[in-house]
A and B are shown apart, each in its own frame.
Chain A
């Protein structure tokens, strides 16, 4: 009897742990690490940011996009407390931004560099200590990172002896060394060769998987495509778009399909298609000698209808929904505004 009671108690406590864990997990995944509300900033007569509100979910990679001079850097500097906003406020992990929060942020600015005449190791130690690490702790972590990125033998080199890419690696290490909750990378891949850019990309993804949240500002749309879960688009000091990248893509797709069809009567099929649908020329790589078109369907039409129609006209060799790339969305939205 006593044994059974114990068993029951054990199961109950397990269950409660599980529920709590699940609840935490859900709560965690919903939580925003960084919330900016109505942030505005003017420099003299120039309005650099106009009531920008952004929410960065915990554990996401958040792409902050926009043309040159849109206000991205000003916004990032406000998060880093380098510049103070005129109005609005920023909340980091539930607390209004305070000086001590700089320990929880790692920032790799676009305009970046190192002291040229200082030795690499000494300099990395100095920057790490400024971020609040003790000297011993910083040394241990630096050794680890230097080995990981295979730059261990640079410790006693002076920065001016390093190439640009090498210096960038050190800056990356210094940015992430204090294991911040929030990492902000402004054009992180500039100055890297493709191999090292890939290495850094993998490191960023790894950091995200380990629980860090990443804000990522770049003009390289292919890396946005590859890495970002969420994006916000800033144009002329205003936020003009934000949300999950998938949702945005869904909103921007136009029910258009890229098709290839092999037929003995190309002219007949072409005119038949043009009669029924909105048809645009298309060209994609193929081993077949077929007709290639982009076909835009009305909003209520389904892909299946198009497919079965095409099959009735010939051999269907290619059928893909056209999903707008981040690049397309960027250009379209900016031009529209």
Chain B
């Protein structure tokens, strides 16, 4: 067996057999699914409580306006004074008492209505109540002015623009949402992967330094091979862990749904709604989603995902390895971590704010060429349609930089692994390049 495969095998097995690695592999999905289930369960529990609101309508105009819903029930009080109503309502343990006084004009109602309650009421409940009163009041006002509310309703139209590109491709808001979801997921996945497994590579380099085995190893193999073996081995372990997470989360979610009848994914629903400008019935939505997915350039996406993922990850991984080699312990890594984390975080921010706002704006374009941000930003832009030459240019820049970074990292690594006891400054790191 040659050296590289030996090293990869050792790194992989060492990571995979590590107790904390195993624990994290099984615990993380449990925690994630657990938290989602808990939140879903709690919010359901929260909504289970029926709120009763007593209504004392002295104006007599709104008796038919308050329709009870499963979470909110209205009881109408008649022929009592406000003082009596307050007492009954409090004794009954009502959520609150709505008091609509008799006024001269409907207009005066706008600030004469009062809501009495034990604590300050939920904003959502107040919105419901205010909407209900306002709607009825408006209708009455229109009537006063001699306008038929029904006529206005029938005259009102709704506008929903059809989206189409110049080339004639029909798109939709749902499609845009999906593209965002794809791009965002890809970019975020890469970001997480870099942070988790880049750190793992760094720690593994530091471990070889602190245990002082490094010199024994590099008297047998070239440092470059050790570096590559370490990166590949750790990455394979990372992929294993990621796959385990995906499978476990899937299985656990299914289990939770079937056993408890709670869907952990339902917690994310508001977000999805926001993205997909919801309001569609489930069946047709599924169909439409499938159709939109089929419109996405799937092959392009997959190929570019792999290229940017590999390039971006290796770029950062080699930098992490260089940092590990330069320092003596994990506490010394802070000052070198910042220049690595900055572009990464910037990439994610640019991705989630600028790209969502305008996928082809100047900032989005520039950041999708800078190699330290391009993997995340370009991955998020591609679903919105980026010309192939731009994609290829970005990949070429990325891989050219990657080669430069690996050269740089290998230099630092070669020198750093044999330096003990002092924390180097940036100036010293530059000097090492010349050794």
Task: Point out residues on A near B: beta carbons under 8 Å.
Answer: 43-44, 77, 80-83, 99, 102, 105, 107-109, 111-118, 126-127, 129-131, 135, 171, 174
Nearest CB to that of A41 among chain B residues? Answer: B435
CB of B213 within 8 A of CB of A114, answer yes
Residue from the set A43, A81, A108, A113 with the largest chain B CB neighbour count within 10 Å:
A113
CB of A112 within 8 A of CB of B213, answer yes
**Stretch from B145-153, B218-226, B255-263, B296-304 contacting the other chain:** B218-226
Q: What CA separation (Å) do A83 and B207 show in the bound complex?
A: 21
CB within 8 Å of A: which of B196-214?
207-208, 211-213
Nearest CB to that of B211 among chain A residues? Answer: A113
In the complex, number of A-B residue pairs with CB atoms less than 8 Å apart: 64
CB of B217 within 8 A of CB of A82, answer no
Name the distance in Å between A143's Cβ and chain B's nearest Cβ.
20
**Which residues of chain A have C-beta atoms less than 8 A from B217's C-beta?**
127, 130
Known: A83-B418, A102-B220. 14 other contacts (CB 8 A): A80-B219, A82-B218, A99-B222, A107-B216, A112-B212, A113-B211, A115-B14, A115-B211, A117-B18, A129-B6, A130-B6, A130-B217, A131-B220, A174-B216
Residue from the set A77, A82, A116, A118 with the largest chain B CB neighbour count within 10 Å:
A82
> In the complex, which range does the number of interface residues on chain B fall in?
20 to 34
Q: 1/0 per residue B341-352: CB within 8 Å of A?
A: 000000000000
B434 partner, pick from A44, A115, A135, beta carbons under 8 A: A44
CB of A109 within 8 A of CB of B10, answer no
CB within 8 Å of A: which of B6-53?
6-7, 10, 14, 18
Q: Does chain A have a CB within 8 A of B431?
A: yes
Name the distance in Å between B2's Cβ and chain A's nearest Cβ.
10
Q: Does chain A have a CB within 8 A of B295?
A: no
CB of B219 within 8 A of CB of A127, answer no
**Which residues of chain B have C-beta atoms less than 8 A from A107's C-beta?**
215-216, 219
Given A113-B211, A113-B212, A44 and B14 contact (CB-CB distance below 8 Å):
no
**Which residues of chain B have C-beta atoms less than 8 A from A111's C-beta?**
212, 215, 420
B418 partner, pick from A77, A114, A126, beta carbons under 8 A: A77
**Which residues of chain B have C-beta atoms less than 8 A from A114's C-beta?**
211, 213
CB of B222 within 8 A of CB of A115, answer no
**Which residues of chain A have C-beta atoms less than 8 A from B220's C-beta?**
102, 127, 130-131
**Which residues of chain A have C-beta atoms less than 8 A from B18's C-beta?**
117
Name the distance in Å between A180's Cβ and chain B's nearest Cβ.
11
Nearest CB to that of A132 among chain B residues? Answer: B220
CB of B219 within 8 A of CB of A105, answer yes
**Which residues of chain B have C-beta atoms less than 8 A from A81's C-beta?**
219
Name the distance in Å between B206's Cβ and chain A's nearest Cβ.
12
Given A118-B14, A126-B10, A82 and B219 contact (CB-CB distance below 8 Å):
yes
**Which residues of chain A have C-beta atoms less than 8 A from B208's C-beta?**
115
CB within 8 Å of A: which of B88-113?
none
Name the distance in Å between B150's Cβ and chain A's nearest Cβ.
79
CB of B435 within 8 A of CB of A44, answer yes
**Which residues of chain A have C-beta atoms less than 8 A from B221's C-beta?**
130
Q: What CA separation (Å) do A319 and B52 show in the bound complex?
A: 118
Residue from the set B217, B218, B220, B418 with the largest chain A CB neighbour count within 10 Å:
B220
Q: What CA separation (Å) do A111 and B210 show in the bound complex?
A: 10
Name the distance in Å between B24's Cβ and chain A's nearest Cβ.
16
**Which residues of chain A have C-beta atoms less than 8 A from B143's C-beta?**
none
Name the distance in Å between B410's Cβ and chain A's nearest Cβ.
14
Q: Does chain A have a CB within 8 A of B1?
A: yes
